[in-house]
Structure 1
Amino acid sequence: MTDRQKPNKPLFSQHYLDHRLKESPEWQVDVAAEFQKLKNLYISKKALLSTLSEAQTEEVFIKPALDLLGFSHIPQVTTRGKGRAERPDYALFNSENDRDAAYPLQSNETAFYGRVIAIAEAKYWERPLSKVSKNDNRDFYKNTNPSFQIASYLTGTGVDWGILTNGREWRLYYRQASSTATEFYQVDLVELLEAEDLDKFKYFLLFFRQEAFVKDSQGRNFLERVRDGSTTYATRVGNELKALVFDRIFPDLAGGFVADATRRGEAVTSEQ
């Protein structure tokens, strides 16, 4: 089983994504232009990608992809985290103005990361994202699980959202999830691009574009609204299933048992 085939603990309710999300105004977005730009980027670099180092993968594919997704970014900003110097590959911003205003604040972690909408960590092409990669010359952080690495960065920076990618797989992590390192939302970008399925590609764009991280007038962004909606929806469905079991199915089963017992009793009586 490949790394991208392994089941993950979902960050969002799949049933909510399959059904309720399509009722949202965001779902009406036309993704054709963004799809074509990312498809062209992938096709133009496809022959190179498996040969590149981590830094080269960033330069050739991941950084251009982040640009196409609408982010402004500052690379390699150090944070002390839990007493250690930690360095997410990218601090992501809503705009160039926000990014430029943050440059002078890099010595003040609280002020700097207060302006950051997400962090991103990039790995070489198709590097497994949920396990240690020992004796790997292309992996600068040998013996490190990338999922735990991004979780550590989120904790250290205090930023809520993080993107982890090896170019092909893109994962979204949430600092306030019950298990930051193992609860994530994952998309196989190459699979979507090669299938040319715009509806499935729409999920990638909606969840990983810059607009997904922008706060609304209530102080929540698209990702937080979807997560809240997923939780509420899952709770409601669970309650409805319980009600169905106890109000309809269980009484029917109980009635069947009583009827069966009655028939058995009648049979015994007649035999006697």
Structure 2
Amino acid sequence: MQTTIVRNSLLSPEGVQKLLKLPRNDLVYVSLLEILTKFEDIKKFASEIHTEIHLIKPILKILGFTYESKPKYFDNHIKGPDAALFLDESVRDRTSSLWGTPEYYANTLGVLLLKRFGRKLDEGISGFFLEFENGIPLYQLFYFLKNTKTPWGILTNGKHWVLMKKPISHETRIFWIDLEEAVQTNDREALHLFCNIFSLEGLSKTLGQLFENERGSMITRLQEKRASLRSSTSGFRKKTDIYPRIIGGLSDIFRNDVFTSTREYLAERDVWIQERKLPPDRLDDFNIAGISTFLLSKKGGTPAIDLENVFLKARPDDRTKDSLLSLKILDMTPGFGNLSIELIECLAYLSFILPYREKNTFTAQWEDEKSLKRYILENILYGIERSHISFDILHHALKNRYDYDSGNFKFGNPLIGMSLADIARHARKKDQTGLFAKGRQEVLNDIREMYREYFSLSDKIKENLMIKEELSQTLNTYCNRLKDILDLITATYFIKTIDDRKIQESLSMLDCETTAWNSLVSRDYFMQAKSLAKQAGFFHL
């Protein structure tokens, strides 16, 4: 069943197990097999209409739905869904008079969005220009659910079936199954889940009861856990006293390897924590940031922010995909990742609804849900976190959700550090340089010009790529040296033996050979400054 369940952010592991224990209906499995076997002969050349007539509609009947094809959407600029799903015939008859209005969708159980057989459901397709129906199908369905009162949405290309719950904010809560593979491999567990999740009974009753029961039991468990954690850490002030108690209290939720930086911090201070030998309880990893916030945050949650309004007002004269995805965002207090995740999800959704600056543009990386979110993590979002526990959980949450651990979220204290402007202030001081040596300000200007050149070069030209690679190595060297100097400047506020003369000397050696620089940073005062920077978490801009 592992390969047939493509993605699941809707159901917890316990919820899946409960569904598997429900009574099975072998007649439904046989009917599904017959439909898919008949469709096998035409699937290679099947259009969207062929898929709808010969595959989707027969399956909807097996699942028990009453449906209405091609309902009109109340926004004339957007093509409506392919089908509206109802509880029964009486509801459909009563609702038909509301055709083309928001009230029509408020009376539906769900909507169905259909794509041709085999089309990728998490990627857009290029055309003369990107219309709504050419965008990422997952976000097409997300748009319908977000802007209507219908509680469920189904997206399918015949082979893959995706169930999406109406979003509360911008998170895509989905259950994605490869139905064709489940039938071909006779995966009865996957077929059983499909029938219990995608059926009329599933959407109208089973899933609602499952969520409510899980919510009640989860709240009780987490309230007890939070009370236990607060009791065990009450009265302590030092991290070396608090961290071991938190890790021990969370050992039934998190694996031993989650708290890497926290354990390193404690080990440096000769504090050791016994590792739990039993595996942690199965928990909904998709919600790990929210669960951690509830357990460890004093407020137990994060304040609601209208991110759409914030982003759309940021550049009112240039509301385009290009403008949005050129932003740089620094999260000064990412905590356990709640806001960071919401930022990623909101940016991804807004990039879908916003047009390109030029109509004939198509950027493949931005039209693939997975690569789009990775792009946001790599190029837009940055963070600095001062708590080791929060830092470890943040990276764990991002890795679980996006299968990618961004290096842009670093450990440090956002309240202690310097900016490049502080270096410029020191560099402007007049001092006699060597006969052939560059002045300090001249070196900084050269670095600035290198950055301009680096970002002006295209990745699509082979010769430019070679130049960029060389520049990247040089710039990385300068960046590391500038960071060392910023650490030294910041350390002057804590260590009296570091004076302005030492700062001037380090600036004068900014473009020296590697051996000379290594000799400089190995001096006692520089080592002391670097040690303090690591301990206090200096953060520089």
TM-score range, shorter chain: 0.7 to 0.9
Q: Secondary structure at the match of 2:118?
A: coil
Letter in 1 for 2:31: K
Tell me if structure 1 keeps the 8 A contact 2:84–2:112.
Answer: yes
- Say if 1:113 and 1:158, in contact at 8 Å, map to a contact too: yes
Matched, 1:165 2:156: yes
Whether the 8 Å CA contact 2:145–2:167 is kept in 1: the answer is no
Paired residue type of 1:176: P
Amino acid at match of 1:66: L
SS of equivalent to 1:50: helix
Aligned AA for 1:55? I
Tell me if structure 2 keeps the 8 A contact 1:12–1:226.
no
Distance in 2 between residues matched to 1:156 and 1:255, nearest whole Å: 49
Residues 117-162 of structure 1: CA deviation (Å, up to 9, x unaligned): 11000111111000112249xx996631101111111123221110
1:206 is aligned to 196
Shift in Å, 1:48: 0.4
Q: What is the deviation of 1:54?
A: 1.1
Paired with 1:247 and 1:10, the residues of 2 have a C-alpha distance of: 26
TM-score (norm 1): 0.73
Q: Alpha-carbon deviations, 1:156-185, whole Å to 9, x = none? A: 3221110000001100111134435x3311
Answering whether residue 122 of structure 2 is matched by residue 130 of structure 1, we say yes
- Residue 85 of structure 1, CA deviation: 4.1
Is 2:85 aligned against 1:92?
Answer: yes
Residue identity matched to 2:138:
S
Distance 1:203 1:178, change over 3 A: farther
AA matched with 1:10: S
CA RMSD, 1 decimal: 3.4
1:19 corresponding residue in structure 2? 17
Aligned-residue offset at 1:39? 0.5
Give me the identity figure in percent: 23
Instruction: Find the counterpart in structure 2 of residue 265 from structure 1.
Output: none
The letter for the 2-side match of 1:153 is: F
Query: C-alpha deviations, 1:74-97, integer Å up to 9, x for none?
Result: 11111225x744411100011222
8 Å contact from structure 2 (residues 106, 148) kept in 1: no
Judging changes above 3 Å, is the alpha-carbon distance between structure 1 residues 194 and 18 closer, same or farther for their aligned structure 2 residues?
Answer: same
Partner-residue secondary structure (3-state), 1:28: coil
Residue in structure 2 matched with residue 54 of structure 1 by the alignment = 48
1:164-213 Cα deviation digits (max 9, x unpaired)? 00001100111134435x33111111111112232221100000001112
The amino acid across from 2:41 in the alignment is A
SS at match of 2:95: helix
Mapped contact 1:117–1:161 kept (Cα < 8 A): yes
- For 1:199 and 1:8, how far apart are their aligned partners in 2? 15
What is the distance in 2 between the residues matched to 1:7 and 1:62? Answer: 19
Q: Could you list the per-position Cα deviations for residues 4-47 of structure 1 after superposition, in whole angstroms to 9, with x for gaps in the alignment?
A: 9996461121x22343444xxxx432220101001001101111
TM-score (norm 2): 0.39
Deviation at 1:255, TM superposition (A): 7.7
CA distance change for structure 1 residues 5 and 200 in 2, over 3 Å: closer, same or farther? closer
Alignment map for 1:28-39 (pairs within 5 Å): 28-39=22-33
The aligned amino acid for 1:35 is Y
SS at match of 1:61: helix
Question: Is the 8 Å Cα contact of residues 89 and 122 (structure 1) preserved in structure 2?
Answer: yes
Are residue 246 (structure 1) and residue 244 (structure 2) matched? no
Cα separation, 1, equivalents of 2:126 and 2:17: 41
Which deviations, in whole Å up to 9, do the C-alpha atoms of 1:65-116 show, x marking residues without a partner? 11111111111111225x7444111000112222222222215431x22321
TM-fit CA distance, 1:237: 7.8
Q: Once structures 1 and 2 are overlaid, which stretch shifts more, 194-203 or 161-170? A: 194-203
Could you tell me how far apart the structure 1 residues matched to 2:33 and 2:248 are?
51
Larger RCO, structure (CA 8 Å, separation 6 or more): 1
Residues 246 and 106 (structure 1), Cα distance of their counterparts in 2 relative to 1, 3 Å cut: same
Deviation of 1:254 after TM superposition, in Å, equals 4.7
Q: Distance in 1 between matches of 2:211 and 2:173?
A: 12
Structure 1: state its 5+ residue gaps: 215-220, 257-272
**8 Å CA contact 1:76, 1:90 repeated in 2:** yes
